[in-house]
Homo-oligomer: A and B are copies of this chain.
Amino acid sequence: MEKIRIGLLGFGKTGKLVANEFIKDEAFSLSWVVRKTATDHHDYASRVLGYEYDCGKLFSVEELDHNFRMENPVDALVDFSSSDGVRLYKNIIGKKVPVITAISNYEPADLDLLNSIAEHAPVLYSPNITLGINVLMVAAQIIQKIAPHADIEIVEEHFKAKSEVSGTAKRIAGVLDLNPKTHINSIRVGGIVGRHEIIFGLPNQTIRLSHESISRAAFGQGAIFAAKAILGKPPGMYTMENIIAKMFEQNIPVY
């Protein structure tokens, strides 16, 4: 089987972990990585990550010439850079190449640009692209509908240095129509990678859905899952949530 050729934008801490997941996965080949700045002198992402072979040629933004996208074609672009990464798309990929982006926050102008790209290519955008969080989010919405009388609270735990409230927790509050100021309980201690819990309290029973992140490599796995899901899909904006919601629908148990 032909491997799916991936271009990666962004090679920071998370970007490196994402590159590593695509390198390890046999269904994919990491064609290239475009990064802003080079802090090392390697030519390949694989070398930076400790592999003994060449894979994922590294380019810095300045090096990109107008032939780049013709000479380095890919089947999908994965973007873990920053809001303005979208402005590079026209230089690095063709108009119809599927895009998976996990940028935390888009500037309005950049989001507009992303939306215009979604007119001629499938674009999946999810700030938290892990499988688990999206599964939790969909399950929680359904449970809320089934047990509308349940009290719901969100607990999120992260490392001490994370000062703001988790964006994922806010998103969960949003889909459950809960006031994030009063229903999100943020715990900041030590080195916890990330834990989200949704508690449903009923008079005689309590349901808890929780997600624990072990490593940010989960974002790479999420990008792989997303890439497989949107390849071949019609143009448009997609999210992990609506892909997972669709999978819920298709996998209702039959008795």
Contacts and interface: CB of A to CB of B under 8 A. Distances in A.
A19 to B, nearest CB: 15
A210 interface: yes
Interface stretch (A54-62, A90-98, A211-219): A211-219
A14 to B, nearest CB: 12
A150 B187 CA distance: 13
A130 B190 CA distance: 15
A202 B132 contact: yes
A249 interface: yes
As for how many copies of this chain the complex holds, the number is 4
A130 B139 CA distance: 18
B155 A135 contact: no
Chain A binding surface SS class: mixed
A108 interface: no
B214 A206 contact: yes
A152 interface: yes
A131 B205 contact: yes
B221 A155 contact: no
Contact of A204 (B143, B146, B215, B255): B215
